[in-house]
Amino acid sequence: MRLQDLSAALLELDASHRRRYRATLESPQGVDIVIDGEEYLSFASNDYLGLADHPSLVRALQQGADRWGAGSGASHLLTGHTLAHQQAEEELAGFVGREAALLFGSGYAANLAVLTSLVGRGDAVFADKLNHASLNDGCLLSRADFQRFRHNDLDHLEQLLAASDAPTKLIAVDAVYSMDGDQAPLPALLALAERYDAWLYVDDAHGFGVLGDGRGSVAAHDLSSERLIYMATLGKAAGLAGAFVAGGRPLIDWLVNKARTYIFTTAQPPALAAAVGVSLRLIAEAGERRERLGQLIARCRQRLDGTPYAGQSATPIQPFVVGSDESAVLLADALRRQGYWVPAVRPPTVPENGSRLRISLSARHELSQLDALLDLMLSQAAN
């Protein structure tokens, strides 16, 4: 893209309903948000448990800053690694029942780290078609043979594994698919990983805090294996920012030595790490919030079942699939005029003709609020 072509290209995005704009929040994250001076009921965040502005978490950050200052000032290998980071890693490992864990600045960085450290030229990665963009970028950056299998299609995956003679194989999946809310068949995937001597890398960005009593998708299935690598982010249900990878000690030590997105970046502010323990305690104690989420999910499914818009999700991500880009944008605009913030998601984030509104549920929504939203969506979409 040349400098002189940028403006025309942006206009083209506008014309095809694919230009993206940022809404600027004038309130903390939550279900009641303010944008451009207007109040909205939001179904748009990944703050599934409503912890992002929890007073205990805010206080933990404040106390962390008092104790540790603002910035870490260096990368982890050059004095940026504080006792706060160290303790957070130990707490995270314990929480998900693994030997060790490693903190990252973001889930994106964690995905690049694992993929580029474990596979390279001549190796092979096997990735679900609907994996998150950051996993795909990690696969590309690794330079391994990048093979994508049809969504949740174990037979297709097995064919690809059986045909591969790559020395190192790695299967990469989202545990909960971020635009559809459906889940990967983790026990069967682990069985395939065992059979074909592959790593199984699980990105649980949307399951951590929500599934398995908050301990995530792998805990929900009670799986344990040295070849299973777990990644979860701390910016979604955990209410903070960053991410962690958990697994065996040798794996974590290898990442410390090899992962470029770990080595060549400044450590997160220690105050953030200091708040991780509080977030984990809040997650552990959030049984009632998860129950409320369960009720909201059940209501959403019950009301969308049998309509043309329904997905297959048992998680807080509930897709409302309308098809064309234009319908999605028009519906989102109509909802906005009535005080509801529900994002339209269009290609390339979702497949062509798969444009949708992505309803994201939070434990802080009332059932009556969800009902009112669905009433509106069902009547407007039919027009």
Positions in the binding site for ligand PLP (CB under 6 A): 106-108, 111, 132, 134, 174, 178, 203, 205-206, 233, 235, 243
Taking the complex as a whole, the smallest distance from the CB of residue 107 to ligand PLP amounts, in Å, to 2
Q: In the bound complex, which residue of the shown chain has the CB atom lying closest to ligand PLP? A: 107
Taking the complex as a whole, the smallest distance from the CB of residue 137 to ligand PLP amounts, in Å, to 10
**How far is residue 145's CA from residue 170's CA, in Å, rounded to a whole number?**
10
Query: Which parts are annotated binding residues for substrate?
Result: 20, 132, 349
Is 178 one of the catalytic residues? yes
Taking the complex as a whole, the smallest distance from the CB of residue 267 to ligand PLP amounts, in Å, to 15
Q: Give, in order, the Cα–Cα distances in Å from 28 to each of 55, 240, 318, 378.
A: 12, 13, 23, 29
Taking the complex as a whole, the smallest distance from the CB of residue 206 to ligand PLP amounts, in Å, to 6
Is 206 one of the catalytic residues? yes
Query: Which parts are annotated binding residues for pyridoxal 5'-phosphate?
Result: 107-108, 178, 206, 233
Are 102 and 114 in contact by the 8 Å Cβ rule? The answer is no
Q: Which is nearer to ligand PLP, 147 or 183 (CB)?
A: 183
Catalytic residue, chosen from 72, 178, 217, 313, is 178
Q: Which is nearer to ligand PLP, 238 or 374 (CB)?
A: 238
The DSSP secondary structure of 328-374, one letter per residue, reads HHHHHHHHHHTTEE--EE-TTSS-TT-EEEEEE--TT--HHHHHHHH
* Token reading at 362: 């939070």
Q: How many CA atoms lie within 13 A of 312 on its CB side?
A: 5
Q: Which is nearer to ligand PLP, 220 or 243 (CB)?
A: 243
Q: Which is nearer to ligand PLP, 106 or 117 (CB)?
A: 106
Is 313 one of the catalytic residues? no
Catalytic residue, chosen from 106, 236, 355, 365, is 236
**How far is residue 172's CA from residue 276's CA, in Å, rounded to a whole number?**
26
**Three-state secondary structure string covering 229-289:** EEEEECCCCCCCCCEEEEECHHHHHHHHHHCHHHHCCECCCHHHHHHHHHHHHHHHCCHHH
Active site residues: 178, 206, 236
